[in-house]
Structure 1
Amino acid sequence: MAVILYARVSTRDQTLEHQISQAEAAGFKIDEIVADHGVSGVKHRLRDRPEGRRLYDKLRAGDMLVLRWVDRLGRNYRDVTDAVRHFIRSGVTIRTVINDMTFDGATTDPVQQAVRDAMIAFLAATAQAQAEATRSAQQAGIELAKDRGGRFKGRKPSYDRATFQTVREMADLGHGATSISKHTGLSRQAVLRIRDNPNLAEAALCRWGI
């Protein structure tokens, strides 16, 4: 059985090292890393990415696909659900670092299959919704920074863009502020500021060019 970590690395919100270290800290023993750099999870289907395409040829029955979260596969509902179901049908087990979720074809019970498929659909929909919300927050942050003319930056944020994304994702999944604080190393107050007013948090990142 091969354990393969797939990482999608955008230019601003993630790094490959961050995704690898999170997986290793969660106890995964990674045999191989497949990574796409600088590709959009909204615009590029998994099959259309140079490395994402390799997963369809590489993964075999009994293998494990590790993802930081399902949004690494993409941020398009249909693409993500199609990809996950394809791999499951092929006998691949999918596990996520965040929330330690497992998706596989082990069960033959139709009710359990329905629950599994509903969870896959929910996570895929959340990934797309979160991407749309992030775009809105980014635009609001840029406009706010323009309105202020860059004259007052305020205090430099205690978080980078990767941590900002992690807080948003975990909050969307229902994690409490204390749990997110422990996971990210941010103060609970910083987590609450990001969770409750992402536009202002995004504006702070834009003002500092983060």
Structure 2
Amino acid sequence: MYTCINGHYPYGHIGGVVATVFYARVSTLDQTLEHQVTQARKAGFVIDEVISDVGVSGVKHRLIDRPQGRRLFDILRAGDVLVVRWLDRLGRSYEDVTSTVREFMNSGVVVKTVINGMVFDGATKDPVQQAVRDALISFLAATAQAQSEATKIAQRAGIDAARRDERKYPGRKPSFDRDKFEVVCKLIEQGNGTTAVAKLTGLSRQAVLRIRDNRLGVEAALLRWGM
């Protein structure tokens, strides 16, 4: 049975009506689910359903291996539209991004991005358009992987520097352990406010703000203290 959403019947099988599904992978503090959805709607997308994976790494988990990402392959049908903020929401490796976008296109699903309004449609038969489309997919996939690797290098360098300086500058010992740190990060990523997170975890607002505003610095401090 199909449920009517925003006046549409999802997944393109009732009277020829197609669905527009927005997928978000939320893994950083500055890209909340609400932010991504708001950005998409401001860009003019009429979204029938929002599907998201929160706190899931695009490096460690392919789209099909994510709890909600897997649903996209089950529910999207030919004619439906998949909207993402950028192709890196689908994956952070070249192979993952290219294979995922092509699999959707081969099944008749149109992939659109909020940033720059790009459209990837497998319906085109013009060889020049196909070549341009495929080249663009490859370029964006390579860019996503390069950005991911650059981030990892920067993080590793910061952590290594903190470890080298730990004897000279140990800093103040954190008032929370790593498990509590990870819980706070996840709650913030889910869109909870500072006061709510403090109440849920038993930490002070100052501690929550410190984690929110300087996640890498706090993580380095935990490492310095062997936590």
TM over 0.5: yes
Would you say 1:137 and 2:154 are equivalent positions? yes
Q: Percent identity?
A: 66
The Cα of 1:15 is off from its aligned counterpart by 1.5
Match of 1:191 in 2: none
The residue matched to 1:41 in structure 2 has which SS?
Answer: coil
Paired residues for 1:94-173 under 5 Å: 94-145=111-162, 147=165, 149=169
- Hey, what does 1:176 align to over in structure 2? none
Deviant stretches of 4+, over 4 Å:
none
Segment of structure 1 superposing worse, 106-115 or 125-134: 106-115
C-alpha distance in structure 2 between counterparts of 1:90 and 1:39, whole Å: 26
SS in 2 for 1:65: strand
Partner of residue 8, structure 1: 25
Aligned to 2:108: 91
1:25 matched to 2:42? The reply is yes
- 1:157-190 Cα shifts (integer Å, max 9, x gaps): xxxxxxxxxxxxxxxxxxxxxxxxxxxxxxxxxx
Q: Hey, what does 1:35 align to over in structure 2?
A: 52
| Paired amino acid for 2:154 | A
Q: 2:86 aligns with which of 58, 62, 69?
A: 69
Unaligned runs of 5+ in 1: 152-203
Preserved CA contact (<8 Å) 1:66 1:97: yes
Partner in structure 2 of residue 206 of structure 1? 216
1:206 corresponds to which letter in structure 2? L
Q: Structure 2 counterpart of 1:117, which letter? A: D
Unaligned runs of 5+ in 2: 1-17, 172-213, 220-227
Judge which range, 112-121 or 138-147, deviates more.
138-147
Moved more, 116-125 or 132-141: 132-141
Q: Distance in 1 between matches of 2:30 and 2:160?
A: 20
Q: What is the deviation of 1:144? A: 4.3
CA RMSD of aligned residues (A): 2.4
> Could you tell me the TM-score, scaled by structure 1's length?
0.69
Determine the structure 2 residue equivalent to 1:82. 99
Residue 52 of structure 1 aligns to which amino acid in structure 2?
G
Number of the residue aligned with 1:167: none
Q: What is the SS of the residue equivalent to 1:66?
A: strand
Bigger Cα Rg? 2
Aligned partners of 1:62 and 1:92 also within 8 Å: yes
1:48 to 30, 47, 65: 65
- Quote the offset at 1:58 in angstroms: 0.7
| Residue identity in the other structure for 2:140 | L
Q: Distance in 2 between matches of 1:29 and 1:50?
A: 24
Q: Which moved more, 1:6-15 or 1:128-137?
A: 6-15
